[in-house]
Amino acid sequence: MTDKLTLNLTEAGELLGLTLSQMRQLIRTRSRQKHQIPVFKLGKRLMFRRESLEAWVRQLEQANG
């Protein structure tokens, strides 16, 4: 998993330590969040860049000090 450029929903959840249900909730509430989880569609699949997820976590850490 570490060499992949993109991660699917399950892999992104594993990386973040979140369940599929928690990941889906983050995606559903994206438009209402100040710091939105970085996700994009590739065809019909939701995909995540590892680098973007790591940057997102750093951003959350800084915002919540």
The closest of 12, 8, 1 to 54, measured between CA atoms, is: 12
Q: Show me where the domains of the chain are located.
A: 6-64
Taking residues 10-24, report their average pLDDT.
96
Cα–Cα distance measured from residue 12 to residue 42, given in angstroms and rounded to the nearest whole number: 15
**pLDDT of 18 above 70:** yes
Confidence of residue 3 (pLDDT cuts 50, 70, 90): confident
Identify whether the C-beta of residue 58 lies closer than 8 Å to the C-beta of residue 15: no
Please give the model's pTM, rounded to 2 decimal places.
Answer: 0.84
pLDDT at 10 over 90: yes
